[in-house]
A and B are shown apart, each in its own frame.
Chain A
Amino acid sequence: MSTAIKVENLSKAYQLGTIGTGTLSRDLERWIAKVRGKEDPFLTIGEANDRSVKGSSDVVLSLNNISFDIQQGDAVGIIGRNGAGKSTLLKLLSRVTSPTSGSIKVKGRIASLLEVGTGFHPELTGRENIFLNGAILGMRKKEIARKFDQIVDFAGVERYIDTPVKRYSSGMYVRLAFAVAAHLESEILIVDEVLAVGDAEFQKKCIGKMSDVSKGEGRTVLFVSHNMGSIKALCSNVVILQNGSLNFQGDIDTGIQKYVSINAKSPSSIYQYSSLDSNKSFFTYLKVIDSDRKQRSEFRFDEEILLECKFSVLKEHLNAKVSIQVIDKSERIVFTSEVGVSDYTNKENFKPNLDFIINIPSHLLVPNVYRIKFTLHIPNVEYLDLLQDVLEFTVVETGTDFHIYGNTDYGCVFVNCEWNLISTN
């Protein structure tokens, strides 16, 4: 097996802010430095691309000195949060823009799909656009003519082929565009989240086509997506980018585990009550942790989510109950779970501080963002303490059976129903 793509010390700097009179003086400064053979004064102070922190320079390194190799025939997923540098990397690979320093060496023809339907002209017919789009993507006319029937067939738009594409439904448009791209004959295929379009049936077709490309035809595929499920269905390896740097390269399972543990110290996964008021019952310490008791904010769907919950109660509140409610992004209460304080302490031997670990089973919550509502209350009488928005965690799509449905709402929990076949005809 040989290397198909070799990325060496790749960096890309971007300038923040607007371009105007103010940037002219800096351009001159850079130019003078260049003429005098010095290093670019603004690049040396470039800093990691962390959006949330106010930086001292307005040049950011969207990619910071990354190096990796990709073997021929590999299907590699590129994952990372928004702003991690995935799109920049794709742009560099597809030669849309050039790196600030470092190099990429490539063996074979690259076809990149940063967007479907680039260059589609609304006034032209489907037929004309297939040719135009194919040529933009680097195909020769003969090649397109040879694959024309396959493309139309894959897109399923035969009846509309001589109608201007502006009359197409958006689904048809996307299907046609993807079909052209899917029939490119290139050794390396780079795909950005284009699969997040179209209906589930078509998405399935796309994933099928992509895995044919990588597994069947032995071509190299680079695939960027937020949907770990489709990455897992397609790729054997992943590259994780974090704030412009390479965080991990290796096999998919380790990669996904790594991905969900980045950003563990999210502020929304811990809560601490600082003052010590002994005149009421209240929560003192809440934290989302994983099975290794480490603070985490993102979880695979197939791992347990643990909540650490400390609170103190007054003696007169022994009849109180402590409960959690897990609430999803669309404000649905997924479930409630509670215990009574009196089950764990009593009047004779009263202990005011209780410390629990609550275990939410794996394979239960569907990928989504959840917040937890903690309540300490005397049932139907009064709330002693209520915390609505302090803790949050995310279940990441890491290969559930429903991953092809993307962000479609298919419920809150996984239920393993028993399906008994009675008869077939």
Chain B
Amino acid sequence: MMNKDLLVQNQTWDLEIKPHSSAFDLHLNDVWKYRDLLGLLVRRDFVSFYKQTILGPLWFFVQPLLTTIMFTFVFGRLAGISTDGLPQPLFYMAGITAWNYFADCLTKTSTVFKDNADIFGKVYFPRLIMPLSIVLSNLVRFGVQFLLFLCVMAYYALHGAAFHPTWAIVLFPVVVILMAAMGLGAGMIISALTTKYRDLAFLITFGIQLLMYATTVIYPLSAANVKYRWLIAANPMTELIETFRYGFLGKGSFSWPALGYSTIVTIVFLMLGTIIFNKVEKSFVDTV
């Protein structure tokens, strides 16, 4: 009997299910093990998006195109807001393409627990896979929309419009990563906070629209009233969109400290988001 007990104690366990674990135990190696799932989920989102449509992936173009036309009409023609001397459609499309990626990441991630409650309630896989798949499948979508933006750019270049891409274009991947990370981080914080009390979820749907006006999507930072400029600049998304525009179109306020500021805020959001998300994922099924 003694021997048997000893044997049991000496056993190594592959898995231990306990009520609490350290907040910093993020199971990132688990996420790596499930990387195939990540790929398949991205594929699922992409494929199921255009199943049974005639235009298929072309639908990805429709939203930014119509939004650009609308913005050009309302903010450009009617309101006459400055676009830093850039052709209006090009200016808006740059802002919309970048902003949409961030906004889609944020809104989709923020409801990830609620949307996937039925899967999460039946089978375990690292929950972090879900928000990651959202960010990646939106990246595909962003890629398609970015191509559209490049086409519009080429069109204006052929017609001799005044814009000059600058060296900052090499920062493009950094900007994309930062936008994704910010959307992911903020989305995870919100999704974790809304599993039990859903109040915040109401805020997010229109909050994201309001936030767009506090970001330099429809106006350049240079056009903002000097008194309020710091407020707009305090929005970490502003620097990213400004950098994006500066890189591709050559107009916009770009500065290293501002980009550094955005980077730090993004990292804080992402870390905080991951930690809170991991804490909540263990028992959210009971309260969602």
Contact = CB atoms under 8 A, between A and B. Distances in A.
A118 B37 CA distance: 13
A293 interface: no
Contact of B18 (A103, A112, A119, A121): A103
B92 to A, nearest CB: 33
A141 B123 CA distance: 18
B196 interface: yes
Contacts of A106: 13-17
A123 B286 CA distance: 29
B282 A98 contact: yes
Interface stretch (B47-55, B75-83, B182-190): B47-55
B124 A96 contact: yes
Nearest to B285: A97
B25 interface: no
Interface in B77-129: 118-125
B287 to A, nearest CB: 6
B8 A112 contact: no
Interface residues of A, number: 48
Interface string A100-115: 1111111111101011
B125 A121 contact: no
A132 B196 contact: no
Interface residues of B, number: 39
Given A2-B11, A136-B123, A98 B283 contact: yes
Contacts of A115: 122-123
A353 interface: no
A96 B122 contact: yes
A174 to B, nearest CB: 15
A94 B123 contact: yes
Interface of A: 2-3, 6, 14-15, 19, 24, 27, 69, 91-110, 112, 114-115, 118-119, 121, 123-124, 128, 131-132, 135-141, 164
Given A96-B285, A98-B19, A110-B15, 12 more contacts: A92-B17, A93-B17, A95-B124, A98-B17, A99-B19, A104-B17, A105-B13, A106-B17, A124-B47, A132-B40, A138-B125, A141-B36
17 contacts: A2-B8, A92-B17, A96-B121, A96-B285, A97-B284, A99-B17, A105-B16, A112-B124, A114-B123, A123-B51, A124-B48, A128-B43, A132-B37, A132-B44, A135-B40, A136-B37, A138-B125
Closest 9 CB pairs of A and B: A95-B124, A135-B37, A98-B282, A104-B17, A105-B13, A141-B36, A106-B15, A123-B51, A123-B48
Interface of B: 7-8, 11-19, 34, 36-37, 39-41, 43-44, 47-48, 51-52, 118-125, 196-197, 282-287
